[in-house]
A and B are shown apart, each in its own frame.
Chain A
Amino acid sequence: MNTTQESQALVVGKNVSRSFEQGGTGVQAVAPASFEIAFGDRIAIAGRSGSGKSTLLHLISGIDIPSAGDLSWPALGTREDLRPGRIAVMFQSPSLLPTLSVLENVALPLALLGVAVDRDGKALEALGLFGLEDLAGKLPEELSGGQAQRVALARAIVGQPDLVIADEPTGQVDRATGTAVMETLISWAEASGAALLIATHDQAIADRLPHGWQMDHGRLSTARQEMAL
């Protein structure tokens, strides 16, 4: 990841907004927001359900396109260059390919990137970080919700991206397991220098990250606030 100048920002948003038109009534999921994410940033996004967290993550990851405003990735290139490779996303909803085994799912980004050697080894290593080696041969339908989420996390980090975006990575596990998962993610990020952007309802999880963003009815505030849930 040192191929790009670390002085440049990963993501820069200026008055980025996203609204959905549905049957004449518009919903503004993300009100005009400005933000910046740099190499090595660790950011938690907290907010109530429906406040626009997922929508913002989709915009930042380049999957969704803003309705207005400027969104750019100075250190990473154009929207087409982001995935697979530079930005990896772990989705809130189940997103494992049902016809591939756990190991094949985790190795998939490497195959998409055209990595020729030792894809399985790297995938196993990523699974190992989350203690999931034993599940390598299983099919997604055989996993619990929490296991599937962790497999999706392993798939997000396997390609050594510059920015990992995770939407509710601990949504389906108990607090202790959630804490452990976060520890793993943070130490992996520290070792690799990747930036983390994690959406969560769980203040305890959010507190583990140095930066805290807050979403409230589509409005983003990037200053840390203690929020009462």
Chain B
Amino acid sequence: MALTITCPVCGKRNGYEFRYGGEDKGPRPVEEGMTPRSWCDYVHMNACVAGVQKEWWCHKNGCGAWFTIHRNTLTNLEVEGVEVTS
């Protein structure tokens, strides 16, 4: 496997230049009224999708940007041009 990731700034690059930053779970929730369960859901729980998921990456050995892409976890290939469905 030889992952490549497309950075919005630098283009398609070797996957090892990047850091994976987790499933996209939406913006930070407000603190008010957060229960241990809802906190845990946001912080620890994952969907573990076998298929295409939206996720965060950081171009750590490059421009440093954080951005999202869609990737198929069954093939480890980036899926370009996906419409956000959720």
The answer to whether A and B come from one shared complex is no
Interface of B toward A, CB cutoff 8 Å? none
